[in-house]
Amino acid sequence: MYTGETITREELCRTFDHSNLKAYADEAAFRKLCEEAKENHCAMVAINSGPTALCHKLLEGTDIHVGAAISFPLGQTTIEEKVHETQEAIRNGADEIDYVLNVGEVKNGNYNYIRKEMEAIVGVCRNEHVISKVIFEICYLTEEEIIQIAKIAKEVKPDFVKTSTGFGTGGATVEAVKLMKQTVGDEIKVKAAGGIRSWADCKAMLDAGAERIGTSSTLKILEEFDAERKKEN
């Protein structure tokens, strides 16, 4: 796990899930996204599930993953629909799946549903050797709800728990990243996403325990990182 003080530029790039999840993103936007990811050797491009096949083709021959967002951004589809979308995305070349859990069922206190949903989607990913991430959407959750979901994740074992979609009323917070990491322990990683637009934001999330950063501001963050390191030297 990296800290903001010690991380190298190459290591920083490998924490980025370089994102374009906008409704109006067209083919040119995805070509640009993938080219930027290749130029900076990001970990992944984060997209909605529709353009998965296109991005898979654009990144062919690289080790940069295609990450498909499932039931994005609201999470208000059935388990069966989420499973089907996950399977379709994997068939189209997704290497990673970021799914939005059903926040409404969390608010209902229906943690059995949350467990069933997580087991279903993580199970598909595990069978297909694809990385799984569970999006909590922390802006709508209490601290206790975050802990309860993280405890379920600790047992079900997705690869990552993730703070936010970036489309809610708030994004990642240092406090939530620390709480999630403290609860899931070392076997599960934390992805911080939503509102991370500067190197200062990014550094704070890494220092809190995040190992992936979801952002559409990758280039700006790298520019600020480079400027800071140049000043230090």
Catalytic residue, from 162, 181, 189, 203: name it: 162
- Contact indicator for 211, 180 with CB cutoff of 8 Å: no
Sign of CA dihedral 164, 166, 171, 174: positive
DSSP 149: H
Tokens of 60: 């062919």
> In DSSP terms, which residues pair with 47 in a beta bridge?
68
Neighbour tally for 26: CB within 10 Å: 10
Torsion angle of alpha carbons 7, 165, 162, 56, nearest 10°?
-70
Stated as kind and residue range, the H or E segment containing 23 is none
| Residue 162 annotated as catalytic | yes
Catalytic residue, from 17, 95, 98, 159: name it: 98
Catalytic residue, from 133, 181, 189, 191: name it: 191
| Residue 191 annotated as catalytic | yes
Cα–Cα distance for residue pair 143/34, rounded to 1 Å: 36
Catalytic machinery residues = 98, 162, 191
